[in-house]
């Protein structure tokens, strides 16, 4: 059942009630960032889903193989370790040459060459560290790409529509699945400015489904800051609890308590 109204149940319908249409409070059409083939379609139309639930999976077999290679490169430390050993050796040689040079036992050219080799070895260590950092970056990028091959629900709601089938190829940015939340419902009512100016967020609203039916209690959750000049109205959004799962898109009439408070 819809929430009971705080208005008098026996009252006649308000002749000044505003006609409007209910809409989902959340409506998301999901698409992939890249083209691919749908490997798994894990939901059906009409199925309730939770936020974070996996809905659709693209074929990612090749990407997972590539990810393994990138992970090996990102985790590997042998190149850096080898460069560090070469640096340690070059510095040891430099130390011996410097000592010999101080004792007039090694020429200046030999000292210059040892210094050059030590500097080159130090630079090689930094280059290997940079390459490893790049490998980690490529691995993390691959993880992000792999995650983008999954569509998960951003909301609690219901699968309203599936636009593709398992095994079908889909293009990037093409809608694959639509998820909606209809509890609560939203109603954007075109309210005359004199009435809208008397309303506040949180004000009570009475909603009747057309044609007839008992009133249900909603509340104002948004009042537009800009009026629509063509219709000379201001959009007022009413939120209506919908535990009985009435479909969105039904016509309703909306009225507000006296004073709009």
With 0-12 / 13-18 / 19 or more C-beta atoms within 10 angstroms meaning exposed / middle / buried, residue 136 is middle
Q: Strands 157-162 and 175-191, how do they pair?
A: antiparallel
Given a cut of 80, is residue 260 above it in pLDDT?
A: no
Report pLDDT for 180. 98
Q: What percent of the chain has pLDDT over 90?
A: 87
Q: Considering only CA atoms, which of 2, 13, 23 is closest in space to residue 210?
A: 13
Q: Tell me the average pLDDT of the chain.
A: 92
Residue 171 CA from chain centroid, whole number: 19
3-state helix, strand, coil in the chain (%, to 5): 35, 35, 35
**In the structure encoding, which two tokens stand for residue 245, read together?**
């799962």
Given a cut of 70, is residue 14 above it in pLDDT?
A: no
Give the Cα separation of 57 and 111 in Å (integer): 63
**In the structure encoding, which two tokens stand for residue 55, read together?**
């809905």
3-class state of residue 234 by DSSP: strand
Summarised one tens digit per residue, pLDDT across range 18-39 is: 999 999 999 999 999 999 999 9
Summarised one tens digit per residue, pLDDT across range 91-126 is: 999 999 999 999 999 999 999 999 999 999 999 999
Q: Which residue has the higher pLDDT, 258 or 86?
A: 86
The sign of the dihedral angle between the CA atoms of 26, 31, 37, 39 is negative
Summarised one tens digit per residue, pLDDT across range 186-226 is: 999 999 999 999 999 999 999 999 887 788 999 999 999 99
Report pLDDT for 261. 52
Report pLDDT for 257. 79
Q: What is the separation, in whole angstroms, between the first and last Cα of the chain?
A: 25
């Amino acid at each position: 059942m819809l929430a009971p109204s705080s208005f008098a149940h026996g009252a006649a319908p308000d002749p000044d009630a505003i006609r409007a249409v209910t809409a989902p409070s959340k409506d998301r059409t999901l698409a992939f960032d890249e083209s691919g083939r749908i490997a798994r379609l894990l939901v059906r139309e009409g199925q309730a889903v939770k936020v974070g639930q996996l809905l659709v999976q693209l074929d990612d077999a090749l990407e997972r193989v590539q990810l393994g290679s990138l992970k090996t490169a990102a985790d590997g430390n042998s190149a850096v370790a080898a460069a560090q050993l070469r640096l340690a050796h070059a510095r040891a040689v430099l130390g011996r040459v410097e000592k010999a040079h101080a004792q007039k036992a090694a020429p200046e050219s030999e000292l210059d060459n040892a210094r050059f080799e030590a500097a080159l070895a130090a630079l090689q260590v930094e280059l290997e560290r940079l390459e490893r950092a790049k490998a980690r970056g490529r691995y993390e990028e691959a993880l992000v790409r792999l995650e983008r091959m999954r569509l998960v629900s951003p909301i609690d709601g219901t699968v309203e529509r599936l636009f593709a089938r398992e095994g079908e190829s889909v293009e990037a940015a093409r809608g694959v699945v639509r998820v909606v939340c209809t509890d609560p419902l939203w109603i954007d009512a075109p309210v005359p400015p004199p009435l809208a100016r008397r309303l506040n967020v949180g004000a009570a609203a009475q909603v009747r489904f057309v044609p007839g039916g008992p009133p249900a209690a909603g509340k104002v959750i948004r009042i537009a800051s800009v009026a629509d000049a063509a219709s000379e109205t201001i959009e007022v959004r009413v939120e209506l609890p919908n535990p009985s799962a009435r479909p969105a898109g039904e016509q309703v009439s909306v009225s507000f308590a006296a004073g709009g408070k």
